Amino acid sequence: MSVFPKLSINIDHVATIRQARRTVEPEPVAAAVLAELGGADGITAHLREDRRHIQDRDIRILREIVRTQLNLEMAATEEMVKIALEVKPDYVTLVPEKREEVTTEGGLDIVGSVERLTRVVDQLQSAEIPVSLFIDAEFDQIEASAKTQALLIELHTGQYAEAKTKGDRSQELEKLRQGTELALSLGLRVNAGHGLTYQNVYPVACIAGMEEFNIGHTIVSRGVLVGMERAVREMKLAMRGQL
Ligand code: PXP
């Protein structure tokens, strides 16, 4: 029997829509509840330094209401470590963060910062918060990740998702497969995410040993469209005082 990865839903872009108006809807916490009703195995939220989408109160409320598991994505900064130690998510994913980027652009450079990241991993894991490191599927980054004692890695699937030709895509898929194999052999658990869509997810889901996917943009995008007809019908009812 094949074992497919679990699915954690990244709800950042529900908050992006809310923040576009600095208003109260759509409520990302409600999205998390509905995602769980739909079968999500976890909820992922990225508290960025600039608070462009998810806010501190979202994380606090998510911690209270998420029934599956809460994955807090964050930069390895003092401010974020303090928040994580207070909130105690089920696990933390450390990601690189640049103010000017539209979304996370690449994996963490673990090779160049093993000592610093080992300290951050230790701070979090000593508080029983497992740490996942978001990295490219490069052998040296995977080996360096194991040195930090982090329990998990998340392989960056962006290059696979953005590959322009079939050949490039197969090559990227093979890198993910080999990276997973190496990571497992080093005792790391393996997640993956970034840029996965309804069209490209299956081959990655077939890689043996993948534990969990973090998927956001494509699901929120589809959610907006599959909900549009109903939302319009309901507004017509509201205009007639019939909702
Ligand atoms: N994993 C990480 C580490 C991310 O930073 C993101 C984007 O916030 C995702 C997964 C989800 O990517 P996408 O929104 O493209 O599905």
Using pLDDT thresholds of 50, 70 and 90, give the confidence band for residue 158.
Answer: very high
Active-site pick, 73, 138, 154, 212: 73
Active-site pick, 13, 154, 194, 211: 194
- What one-letter code names the amino acid at 161? A
Ligand 1 centroid, distance to 29 Cα (angstroms): 18
Apex CA 158: angle with CA 34 and CA 31, to 5°? 10
- What is each CA distance from 234 to 33, 225, 230, 231, in whole angstroms? 21, 15, 6, 5
Using pLDDT thresholds of 50, 70 and 90, give the confidence band for residue 21.
Answer: very high
Ligand 1 centroid, distance to 214 Cα (angstroms): 6
Number of other CB atoms surrounding residue 146 within 10 Å? 17
Q: Which helix (H) or strand (E) holds 39?
A: none
DSSP letters, 80-91, are HHHHHHHH--SE
Q: 61: which 2 tokens?
A: 């409320």
Report the atom number in ligand 1 closest to the C-alpha of 196. 16
Using pLDDT thresholds of 50, 70 and 90, give the confidence band for residue 97.
Answer: confident
Q: Is the model's pLDDT at 99 over the cut of 90?
A: no
Mean pLDDT of 134-154: 98
Question: Ligand 1 in contact with 14 (CB < 6 A)?
Answer: no
What does the pLDDT look like over 198-208, one tens digit per residue? 999 999 999 99
Question: Ligand 1 in contact with 223 (CB < 6 A)?
Answer: no
pLDDT at 1: 54
pLDDT at 2: 64
Question: Ligand 1 in contact with 95 (CB < 6 A)?
Answer: yes
Mean pLDDT of 134-139: 98
The strand pairing partners of 191, in sequence order, are 154, 212
Report the atom number in ligand 1 closest to the C-alpha of 195. 15
Report the atom number in ligand 1 closest to the C-alpha of 93. 3
The strand pairing partners of 70, in sequence order, are 43
Burial 126-145 (b: 16+ CB within 10 A, else e): eeebbbbbbbbbbeebbbbb
Mean pLDDT of 34-61: 98
CA distance 204 to 208: 9
CA distance 224 to 117: 38
Q: Is the model's pLDDT at 40 over the cut of 60?
A: yes
Ligand 1 centroid, distance to 238 Cα (angstroms): 36
Q: CB-based contacts of 199: which residues, under 8 Å, 6+ apart? A: none
Q: Is the model's pLDDT at 104 over the cut of 90?
A: no
Residue 203's SS3 state is helix
Q: Is the model's pLDDT at 123 over the cut of 90?
A: yes
Using pLDDT thresholds of 50, 70 and 90, give the confidence band for residue 229.
Answer: very high
CA distance 163 to 51: 30
CA distance 17 to 200: 25
Question: Ligand 1 in contact with 215 (CB < 6 A)?
Answer: yes
pLDDT at 23: 97
Q: Does the pTM exceed 0.85?
A: yes
pLDDT at 98: 78
Mean of per-residue pLDDT scores for the chain: 96
Ligand 1 centroid, distance to 235 Cα (angstroms): 32
pLDDT at 106: 87
Using pLDDT thresholds of 50, 70 and 90, give the confidence band for residue 228.
Answer: very high
Question: Ligand 1 in contact with 103 (CB < 6 A)?
Answer: yes
Question: Ligand 1 in contact with 134 (CB < 6 A)?
Answer: yes
What structural domains does the chain harbor? 6-239 (3.20.20.70)
What does the pLDDT look like over 23-34, one tens digit per residue? 999 999 999 999
For residues 202 and 167, the answer to whether their CB atoms sit within 8 Å is no
